[in-house]
Structure 1
Amino acid sequence: MNNNGNQSEEPLSQYIEDNFLEVLEYLHSFQKTSSWYNEVDVTRIESEVNSIWYNAVIFKQEITDKRVSEIYEIYKNKKNKTAWFIFDHKQPEKLNNQLFSYGFKPIAKMAGMAIDLNLLSKDWTPPKDMSIRKAVTEADFEEWYNLALNSYPMSRPTAELFLEAAKQNVNSSSPKMAAYLIQYSGHSVGIAEAYFGEHHVGLYSIATLQQVRKKGIGTAATMFLLMEAYHRGYRIAVLQATEKGIHLYERIGFQKHCNLSILMSTAYKNK
């Protein structure tokens, strides 16, 4: 992990976008069915797998209406779901309007958030009866997969995408990606995943089963991952939060720096 003093020269919104793109590229590096196109203005993913995480367009800079139309034509006749990911610090409002005219609709809006790990309270301890551990065995990964489908909820192709990347790191002392099982009173009740990037750590898929929510377990799992990142030498952690999760992360110390909108054609139905 390269933790140099020049990080502060970039806005935190750029860190959030960089980590998002980095983790997507890493996830797809293990997928033989995926094609990754890193173009000047957009990053594109194409695959035969019918999931928005396998067929996607991520905007990296403002582009012309003509260019949007060109990209739209590439995906228009494909049978699989395709999502367009738009960070609001890069794209004008007219881009959304253009996609709406093509029959797209918003399916999610996430808050891009970041935290300076140097500001964390280092004397934090987890709540009683709560723990979190890395998934390392096949039984662990099967349990993580089932919890992902029931706690997040996550589609099967998406769960498989994250799980395969975690499995590739199981024997590493400093994994790039790790899957975690959240345990409460001796039972696995949730999941989390962390991507340890070149400069920043990204937290993903933090979720618990409905029956154990509002007990501080999600907050404790987040703190555990942040402390692990801090001890590995990271200074900045980032994540994308749903509207319900924003206040939880703000209480920990995260601050919102941008929005990530996900749009998909109304011809598709996404889980």
Structure 2
Amino acid sequence: MIGAQLADENLIESFRMHARWQEPAETHEQGGMLMIAGSTHRPGLYRNCALRLDPSVPAGKAFEQAMGFFGSRERGFALLTRKRFDEDMDSLLSDAGIFPRASSPCMIINRQLETVPLPEGVHTVAIESEAHLKDCVKVNMEAFPRLGVSADEVAGFFEHGDRVLGDNVCGYVAYKDGAPQATALTYVTGASAGIYWVGTVADAERQGLAGACTRLAVNAGFARGARLVTLQASPFGLPLYQRLGFRNYDGLSFYFFGRSQVS
């Protein structure tokens, strides 16, 4: 399935992208594995994580590499698996009594979306400056703690705004009375684009603002040459993405290992 391959390429590149945004961060690609030691010691997506790039690498060998990499650095990590590629890894961990801490549908869409009228007093702007980016970060510093990502960690990913802004990253912020309310980013990698960092402040929930930003972000990906747009849905965002027409193509599982398990 070519679409799934393109979407998966964008997902993988998003890990490299977030590593470039952090400081310090160490990216290690060897033996068919991608491993990132981020700017904090907390395990999690984009912070300290491992993902198998080559499904032909035996699950046991891949897991040993991740354990060795993070164990030598005395930090925990999140191991991510995909249903399409990592069934053997899931089986290996299940047999050892280790089960996912969380999961996320991987979704895809291959058509532009209609824009919708905004509520009175709301307008959207494209993220074209560090001031806009700071407002995007401000929104997600409030939104993402509900998903277990602290405000400080959100800020850490965007500490170097000049690394975020570029031809392959675009996005939108929705404002009401001058205050940022919702946001969404698009990351374009060749023939695919990914939607990341969709968030809404608590006071603006259920007003359609995240949906409006997502529609614009999806269309921006297609305008930059993408053949499809992908995302990994949180429990909060899943109903929205289903309404927009995204469909599942894979599933992402998250296994967490603490320092005591890798030392």
With normalisation by structure 2, the TM-score equals: 0.81
Give the superposed CA RMSD.
2.7
- Gap regions ≥5 residues in structure 2: none
One-letter amino acid matched to 2:30: E
Structure 1 position 102, deviation (Å): 6.6
Q: What residue is the counterpart of 1:253 in the other structure?
A: 245
Count of matched residue positions in the alignment of Structure 1 and Structure 2: 251
8 Å Cα contact 2:188-2:224 kept in structure 1: no
User: Do residues 35 (structure 1) and 26 (structure 2) align?
Assistant: yes
Q: Name the % identity.
A: 18
Match of 1:116 among 105, 110, 134: 110
Task: Name the residue aligned to 1:58.
Answer: 51
Query: Does residue 1:219 correspond to 2:211, yes or no?
Result: yes
Q: Using a 3 Å threshold, how does the CA distance of structure 1 residues 185 and 33 change in structure 2: closer, same or farther?
A: closer
* Structure 1: distance between partners of 2:131 and 2:245: 34
Correspondences of 1:180-259 after superposition (within 5 Å): 180-259=172-251
Letter aligned with residue 49 of structure 1: T
Aligned partner letter, 1:55: N
CA distance in 2, matches of 1:48, 1:185: 35
Aligned pairs (5 A) from 1:61-140: 61-67=55-61, 68-76=63-71, 78-92=73-87, 94-99=88-93, 105-117=99-111, 120-121=113-114, 124-129=115-120, 130-140=122-132
Deviates more, 1:247-256 or 1:259-268: 259-268
Tell me the TM-score normalised to structure 1 length: 0.79
Helix, strand or coil at the partner of 1:144: helix
Gap change, CA 1:163 and 1:20, over 3 Å in 2: farther
Residue by residue over 1:106-162, the C-alpha shift from the partner in whole angstroms, topping out at 9 and shown as x without a partner, is 3321110010125x44xx333233332234445434333332211123432343224
**Mean Cα deviation higher: 207-216 or 249-258:** 207-216
Q: Give the secondary structure class of the aligned counterpart of 1:49.
A: coil
Paired amino acid for 2:204? V
User: How is 1:168-187 mapped onto 2 (pairs within 5 angstroms)?
Assistant: 168=163, 170=165, 172=166, 175-187=167-179
Q: Is the Cα–Cα contact under 8 Å of residues 111 and 260 in structure 1 kept in the other structure?
A: yes
Deviation at 1:31, TM superposition (A): 4.3
User: What is residue 18 of structure 1 aligned with on the other side?
Assistant: 9
Judged with a 3 Å threshold, the aligned counterparts in structure 2 of structure 1 residues 11 and 209 are, in CA distance, closer, same or farther, namely same
- Report the Cα distance in structure 1 between the residues aligned to 2:65 and 2:242, rounded to whole angstroms: 39
Stretches of structure 1 lacking an aligned partner (at least 5 in a row):
1-9
